[in-house]
């Protein structure tokens, strides 16, 4: 890939396009596919979760982070990379009217779409802000819970992203993040493809490296709550001549994990 700023511009352009296209397809996952990858191959079924709003589900996630977020009534929850608001509306149902949910996204078109969805759904306890997950407009020690769905992999500086999460969490607060990791290093031919990066794959770290960043940030009780293998379609791996990398002796694997971690109580 190119410089961090070039990566961010590519991502903003891509996700702005997805948000705009979703208006034409009534929010169906068809907007999330391209010649290179159908992003929805990583997503999970939200339809049985309370608070689910189909119009906010663009099929861009890789897990169900709110299922392991232990959200309580009255909590302040922040969704890093909130997109059209999918996880925010699930969290809002759990925080109740005395709680608050804040969505942060780097793409203005997505923020506007999320605000429109909140107005349509009548959600009074949800707010959306433009910002990068490495540098949010939120106050220090202001969140009880941080959730995110397949977003930290998009950050060129993942350490900075987790440091920002640590900053905004209150002592004793926690995160629940679904993201993509690998077992083995991805082939260079895949890493050079912008579409793969936008689909959370090219930005994926080896699992041990990902977990090390979380721990080195200062989080405690770092635990993988769920792990699921992602199967790339043969049409994609064949296109880049890397099918044998995933099926042969090298056995490279791509996984969705949901990570739980706490900010220690004694941190000020």
pLDDT for 196: 56
Q: What is the mean pLDDT of residues 200-209?
A: 81
pLDDT for 29: 43
Do 182 and 204 meet the contact criterion of CB atoms below 8 Å apart? yes
Rounded CA separation 71/101 (Å): 11
Rounded CA separation 180/228 (Å): 10
pLDDT for 7: 73
Q: What is the pLDDT of residues 103-157, one digit of tens each?
A: 999 999 999 999 999 999 999 999 999 999 999 999 999 999 999 999 998 888 9
Q: What is the pLDDT of residues 62-98, one digit of tens each?
A: 899 999 999 999 999 999 999 999 999 999 999 998 9
Coil, helix or strand for 176? strand
Rounded CA separation 60/30 (Å): 11
Residue 31 has pLDDT above 90, yes or no: no
Rounded CA separation 20/121 (Å): 19
Q: What is the pLDDT of residues 3-15, one digit of tens each?
A: 778 777 877 777 7
CATH code of the domain made up of 4-262: 3.40.50.150
Determine the length of the chain.
Answer: 268
Coil, helix or strand for 223? strand
Do 148 and 133 meet the contact criterion of CB atoms below 8 Å apart? yes
The residue behind tokens 């979760």 is 49
Closest CA to 199 of 46, 91, 40, 63: 40
pLDDT for 59: 79
The residue behind tokens 């794959």 is 201
pLDDT for 137: 94
Do 85 and 53 meet the contact criterion of CB atoms below 8 Å apart? yes
**Interior CA angle at 43 toward 164 and 162, to 5°?**
10
Residue 33 has pLDDT above 50, yes or no: no
Domain ranges, ordered by start, for the chain: 4-262
Of residues 248 and 47, more confidently modeled: 47
Both structure tokens of 127: 């707010």
Q: What is the pLDDT of residues 222-236, one digit of tens each?
A: 999 999 988 877 777
Beta bridge partners of residue 80, listed in sequence order: 104, 148
Q: What is the pLDDT of residues 158-196, one digit of tens each?
A: 999 999 999 999 999 999 999 999 888 777 776 665 555
Q: Tell me the H-state helices in the chain.
A: 4-24, 86-95, 108-121, 158-168, 188-191, 194-198, 207-217, 234-239, 243-247
Rounded CA separation 247/253 (Å): 9
Do 189 and 241 meet the contact criterion of CB atoms below 8 Å apart? yes
Average per-residue pLDDT in the chain? 85
Q: Model-level pTM?
A: 0.88
């Amino acid at each position: 890939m190119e410089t961090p700023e070039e990566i961010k511009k590519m991502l903003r352009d891509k996700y702005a396009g997805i948000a705009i296209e979703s208006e034409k397809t009534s929010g169906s996952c068809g907007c999330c596919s391209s010649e290179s990858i159908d992003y929805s191959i990583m997503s999970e079924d939200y339809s049985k979760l309370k608070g689910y709003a189909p119009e906010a589900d663009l099929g861009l996630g890789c897990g169900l982070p709110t299922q392991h977020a232990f959200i309580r009534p009255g909590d302040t929850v922040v969704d890093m990379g909130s997109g059209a608001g999918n996880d925010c509306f699930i969290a809002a149902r759990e925080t109740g009217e005395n709680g608050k949910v804040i969505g942060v996204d780097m793409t203005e078109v997505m923020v506007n779409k999320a605000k429109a969805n909140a107005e349509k759904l009548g959600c009074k306890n949800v707010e959306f802000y433009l910002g990068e997950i490495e540098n949010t407009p939120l106050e220090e020690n202001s969140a009880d819970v941080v959730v995110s769905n397949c977003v930290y992999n998009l950050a060129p500086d993942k350490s900075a992203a987790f440091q920002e999460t640590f900053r905004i969490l209150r002592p004793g607060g926690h995160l629940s993040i679904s993201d993509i990791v690998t077992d083995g290093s991805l082939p260079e031919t895949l890493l050079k493809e912008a579409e793969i990066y936008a689909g959370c794959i090219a930005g994926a770290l080896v699992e041990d490296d990902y977990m090390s960043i979380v721990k080195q940030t200062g989080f405690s009780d770092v635990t993988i709550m769920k792990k699921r293998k992602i199967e790339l379609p043969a049409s994609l791996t064949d296109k880049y001549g890397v099918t044998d990398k995933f099926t042969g002796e090298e056995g490279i694997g791509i996984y969705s994990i949901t990570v739980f971690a706490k900010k220690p109580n004694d941190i000020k």
